């Protein structure tokens, strides 16, 4: 179900970019998921007849794929930096994802500012 929400959100943003006349290209929007089940259901619904409660939502995802509006690709959980926003992570994984996203600890940022100020004082 999250995949369906992501697909609709991606298409809404693409439409917003078009309305703002920001070129977004003609390629399909790529959505990365770490769920093999999401990929299987969206590409081959025949294997998941028990999942009738989500069929309606996945019909939309399959439609978007057929229309080449989106494409779905697999990314292993160890390389999914979006997990920092959705899961409780251990310290090493949290730190790695922060680095992948370009995020920094506020104390590190303050240290950098202090270093810059020290260098400015030295130059004078």
> What are 23-57's pLDDT values in tens digits?
776 788 888 888 887 777 776 666 555 555 656 66
pLDDT (0 to 100) of residue 1: 73
Pair 71, 96 in one domain: no
R_g over Cα of the chain: 21
The tokens for 13 are 């943003």
Pair 68, 103 in one domain: no
Cα–Cα distance measured from residue 12 to residue 4, given in angstroms and rounded to the nearest whole number: 12
Domain membership flag for residue 94:
yes
Pair 4, 46 in one domain: yes
The tokens for 100 are 């992948």
Residue 30's domain comprises 1-75
Pair 2, 43 in one domain: yes
Of all residues in the chain, the percent with pLDDT exceeding 70 is 70
Cα–Cα distance measured from residue 121 to residue 124, given in angstroms and rounded to the nearest whole number: 5
Domain membership flag for residue 112:
yes
Specify the higher pLDDT residue, 117 or 80.
Answer: 80
Q: Is the pLDDT of residue 15 over 70?
A: yes
Domain membership flag for residue 95:
yes
Q: Is the pLDDT of residue 63 over 60?
A: yes
Cα–Cα distance measured from residue 55 to residue 57, given in angstroms and rounded to the nearest whole number: 5
- Of 16, 33, 14, 34, which Cα lies nearest the Cα of 24? 14
Domain membership flag for residue 80:
no
Domains contained in the chain, number: 2
Pair 67, 20 in one domain: yes
Residue 71, strand partner residues: 30
Pair 99, 61 in one domain: no
Task: For residue 121, name the pLDDT band (cuts at 50, 70, 90).
Answer: low
Pair 58, 94 in one domain: no
What predicted TM-score, i.e. pTM, was given to this entire model? 0.62
Measured in degrees and rounded to the nearest 5, phi and psi for residue 47 equal -80, -10
């Amino acid at each position: 179900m999250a995949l369906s929400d992501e697909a609709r959100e991606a298409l809404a943003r693409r439409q917003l970019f078009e309305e703002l006349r920001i070129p977004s290209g003609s390629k399909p929007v790529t959505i990365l998921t770490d769920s093999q089940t999401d990929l299987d259901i969206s590409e081959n619904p025949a294997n998941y007849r028990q999942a009738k409660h989500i069929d309606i939502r996945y019909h939309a995802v399959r439609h978007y794929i057929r229309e080449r509006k989106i494409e779905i690709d697999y990314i292993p959980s160890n390389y999914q930096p979006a997990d920092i926003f959705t899961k409780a992570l251990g310290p090493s994984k949290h730190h790695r994802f922060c680095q992948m996203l370009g995020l920094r600890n506020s104390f590190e940022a303050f240290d950098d500012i202090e270093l810059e100020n020290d260098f400015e004082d030295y130059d004078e």
